Structure 1
Amino acid sequence: MLHLAFARVVTLCFLCCAGPGGSVAAASELRFLTVEEPPTNYLENGEVVGTSVDLVRELARLLDETIDIELLPPARAILVANTTANRVLFTAALTEARKAQGYHAIGPVITRKHVLYARKGRNLQLAKLGDLITQNLTVSGTDGDWRSAYLKERGVVVETTTEHLLNLKKLMVNRTDLWISSDIEAPPILAEAGVDRSEIEEVLVIRTAPSYILVSNGTAPEVLRRWRAAFRAMSSDQDFLDQVTSKWSRKLGMDFGYDRGTGFFVKSGGDSASRS
C-alpha cells in the first residue's frame, strides 16, 4: 500500500522536526512520572518496566528523544502532575475531574475490567455498589487511584495504602472484605504475593474502562501534537505491536491483543502470571 507507506514517512518526518523557531519542547523539558501498578508500570530488578513503559519508550524512540521515567508513590506523582506543566503521567484514567484539571490524553494504552475481589469462600452476594454499604463491607484501595475516589464518592468505606500489593495482603488476612483491582493488574500482583488465583474470586465488576498517557495542563500544544503524532505512527506499526503483545502474553500468561481504540486488552483470560 504505497499511499500508506508515504503517509507514514510524512508523519515520521513531522515527528523529527521542531516547530517554527525551535518551539517544540525537548524531551528534557518533559518529566515522565509513573507509579507501581503491574503490569502497566512497575519496578523489576531496579528498572521501570511494563506494557505502558514499552509504549512510552517506543514513542520516545520515534521522536529520537532520550527520556527518564520516575516511579513515584501515587499521591506524589498525581500532585506533581496536577500542579506543574510539562509532566507526563501514566498509566491513568481520564476522569471528569482530570479533564477539568486540564489534562490531555494520549492513547488509550490499555483497557481493563475493574473488579472487586473477595477471598474465596466468603460467598458475598453483590449486585450493585449500594450492597457494599448495606452489608458494611470495606475495600482495600490505593492512594490517588481513581477507583478509590470513585468508591468513596458513593459512600463505600475504602482503606487506602500506597501499594497494590499491600492492599491484596490486607484482603488475605481479613483486614478488609474486598480488594479493588482489574483483570490485567490482579494476576501479576497475586504472583508477587505468592497467592494462587483460586484463593480469590470476582464478586462485582465496577466498569470496563481505558487508561491513557496523560499530559499535564500548561504543556505547549505543539508538544502534545508531536507526541500524539508519534502515537498514531506507533499504532500503525503492526510489527512492533505484534512483538510487544507477544512479549507480554508470554510474560504474564495472558493472551494480549492491541487495538488503536483500546490499547492493550485481554483476548482470553489466564489464571497464572509470572515475572520472568
Structure 2
Amino acid sequence: MSALTQRPDVATGERYVIPNLRNACRILKLLGRHPEGLKVADLARMLKVPVTTTLRITTTLHLEGFVRKQDGRFKPGPMLIQLGSAALAATEVRVLALPLLQKLTAITDETSHLAVPCDERSLIVAVQDSAHPLRAASRPGFLAELHCSSTGKVFLAFLHQRDIPGILTREPPTRHTSNTMVDLREIQREADLTRERGFSLDNEEFNAGVRCLAAPVFSADGSVVAALGITASTLRFSLDRIPEISTKVRAVATELSQLIGYNGSA
C-alpha cells in the first residue's frame, strides 16, 4: 500500500517512525519467541538488517538491560521482566480474572490459566496452580504457539479465522508430539470446530500426557480479548470428562466476559 492510499492516521504515524528504534522492538519480539537465544548474524538475517546495525542495536539493548548475552547468543534481559510485571499488573482483564481462576481451579481441581493474544501468539498472563501441579504447565510470560495450545486455538478460531493460511506461512507450525496438527486444512477444521462448540482442546498436542481446554473471553463489543482454560494430566482429564470440564470452563469464561461488559448480544 502506498503512502497515497494509506489511511491518514497510518500515513501520519509512519512519518514519525524511527527505523532503528523499530528494529530494536523487532529484535526484542524475536528474542521473546526464541528462548534459546539468537546470534547477531541470525537476527540480522531474520530482520534483513545489516549485521553492523544489528550489532549496534543489540549492544545498546545489552547496556540498558533489555537483553543479556550468553555463549554468544542474545536472550531477553532482566529489564523486560520488570516492565512485563508492571504491564501485567495493570491489565484489567488479568486483575478481574484472578479470583475466577481460583474458582475454576477449585471446581475442576486442575491448574487454570488466562492468556491474551500477542503478536500471533498466546501470552499466558496468569496461572492458578492446583494441588496437582504439572511441570508442563505454562507460566506467566510464556508465549504459546496458536496451532497447538488450547488458548492459541481460541485466538485462531475467533480472531484470526480469515488469516490462518497467512499465519501458518509466516510461522510454519512445529510438530511437538504425534498429535500436533500441522496441516492447514486440519487446523482450519479445528478452528471451525472450536467456534461451533465454544471451546478448544489441546489433546496432547504440545506435551504428551497433558490435555488442555480453553474458552473465549469476550469484551463489551463482542470481540475476543482473552482465553481462559485449564491444564491437566491425561490421567485425570480423560476424554470422557470433556463435557464436564468444558461446561465449567465456559461458565467461568462467561462470568469474566460479563465482568468486562459483555452482555451476550454484541
By relative contact order (CA 8 Å, sep 6+), the higher-ranking structure is: 1
TM-score exceeds 0.5: no
Higher helix share: 2
Q: TM-score, normalised by structure 2?
A: 0.29
Q: TM-score, normalised by structure 1?
A: 0.28
